[in-house]
Structure 1
Amino acid sequence: MTTLSSRAGTKGVPRAERERQVLAAATEEFGRHGYEATTVAAIAARVGVTKPLLHQYFGGKQDLYLACLDPVGDRLLGAIESAMARPAAGAPPTPLRVLGALFTALEGQREAWFVLYDPSLPPGSDAAHRAATYRDAIDDLAALGTADLLHTAGAGDPLDADALKYAWRGLCTALVRWWINHPDESPEAMTRRCARLLGAVRTALADADSDTGV
């Protein structure tokens, strides 16, 4: 016989649904405020449960953070891997495909990017190590993309690829932050905006090369 505690949370809400609510609220809180400033009490209050119930479901603050991080990291990695797969004829360039995939993966939970890229994680903690594992995996994919881009452009300095990898991470973070501040922008609209911006940069650089005779 199934006990009530295994079937439902508080006020008749099934436990699985209550856990989903907690994870959604916690992801937003960690993403908005960072690990250090986020409290279990604030998350419990948002969902309308007690702290003891939240601890019963997820354990401590770090356990709850990890429960939020894993689906975020897996979703972003999967989106980037799919975007970098061999494209169909006429597909947008890889950087634009990756950006579009990120926006689509984050829609409905835009702050989740900053769960993964959180500078306030305690150094040496399980949370910091797990987040770094995901970030390193994403960086490895970015390194492949930037190396291919530079090879096509004829750039031979290996440090160029490393510098561009970090610049790309910063660009993605800045674009997501801007997107959060413009909630009416859909993933498709953001992708089109990025296409215009990348096109403008490409034109400006081409004009600069023309002016200097490069």
Structure 2
Amino acid sequence: MPREEREAQLVVAGTEEFGRAGYAGASMVEIARRVGVTKPLLYQYFGSKDGLYLACLHRAGGRLTEGVATTMAAGGEPDQMPLKVLAAIFTTFDHDRYAWRLLRDATVPATGDIAAAAADYRRRLDAFAVLGATQLLTSRGLADPVDIEAVAQVWTGVVDSLISWWIDRPDEDAGAMTARCARIMGGLFGW
């Protein structure tokens, strides 16, 4: 098998293992077993557990930030943007749900490359949340920066909670989850 294909398989298997068990609990032996390679080959490809985690994190974070950026850049009514962003996230992770957990894994080292990369992706996502909150609130005549910050914080927590709930429901695909969120948001906010 070509190296690029094998690396891709290892990153997918690593993402699931890290997403299920966290960085601290993940087993390199289990990741290698899932792909049908030896642990030494896994280390040959990525150098270390940190190297594999970083590859998994960059894949997840890159896909997510690109999907959200593209969705927000397309514009639209501020009231509809939260659902559009959720749809983009669900679509991005529909067949790779555990990738989301890599962005918020509390078991990663507190310093070093992994911590810096995870913090960078979280900062980017938080910036999108602030931008969305700014657009939504200003469209309703509200511009207090503290209100915007509070709404962005709430939104981040809502997204994390929804995705965590969704991860445990493999029979609910991205379309079904988007429809569920549309019903909920419509009921709660009249959107």
Q: Which residue of 2 aligns with 1:9?
A: none
Alpha-carbon distance between aligned partners in 1 of 2:19 and 2:71, rounded to the nearest angstrom: 24
The higher relative CO (CA closer than 8 Å, separation ≥ 6) is in: 2
1:87: Cα distance to partner? 3.4
What residue is the counterpart of 1:147 in the other structure? Answer: 134
| 1:39-72: CA deviation from partner (whole Å, max 9, x where unpaired) | 2122112222211111101110111111111121
Alignment-derived partner of residue 25 in structure 2: 37
Unaligned runs of 5+ in 2: none
Aligned counterpart for 1:26 among listed residues 2, 8, 14:
14
Which residues in structure 2 correspond to 1:1-214 (within 5 Å)?
Answer: 13-87=1-75, 93-203=80-190
Aligned equivalents of 2:81 and 2:72: distance in 1? 6
Q: How many Å separate the matches in 2 of 1:120 and 1:157?
A: 36
Shift of 1:92: 7.4
Stretch of structure 1 that moved more, 19-28 or 158-167: 158-167
Identity %: 47
| Structure 1 gaps, min length 5 | 1-12, 204-214
Q: Hey, which bits of structure 1, 4+ residues long, moved more than 4 A?
A: none
Q: Distance in 2 between matches of 1:91 and 1:150?
A: 8
Provide TM-score, normalisation by structure 2: 0.92
Alignment CA distance shift 1:116-1:47 (3 Å) = same
Distance in 1 between residues matched to 2:122 and 2:66, nearest whole Å: 13
Distance 1:112 1:167 in 2: 22
Structure label with greater radius of gyration:
1
CA distance in structure 1 between the aligned counterparts of 2:166 and 2:119, rounded to whole angstroms: 24
> What is the aligned residue count?
191
Q: Distance in 2 between matches of 1:43 and 1:144?
A: 38
**What SS is found at the alignment partner of 1:27?**
helix
Q: Is the 8 A contact 2:79 2:136 kept in 1?
A: no
Taking structure 1 as reference, are residues 156 and 87 closer, same or farther at Cα in structure 2, changes over 3 Å only? closer
- CA 1:86–1:45: 2 relative to 1, 3 Å: closer
Q: Provide the rounded CA distance (Å) in 1 between the counterparts of 2:63 and 2:9.
A: 18
CA distance in structure 1 between the partners assigned to 2:74 and 2:4 by the alignment: 38
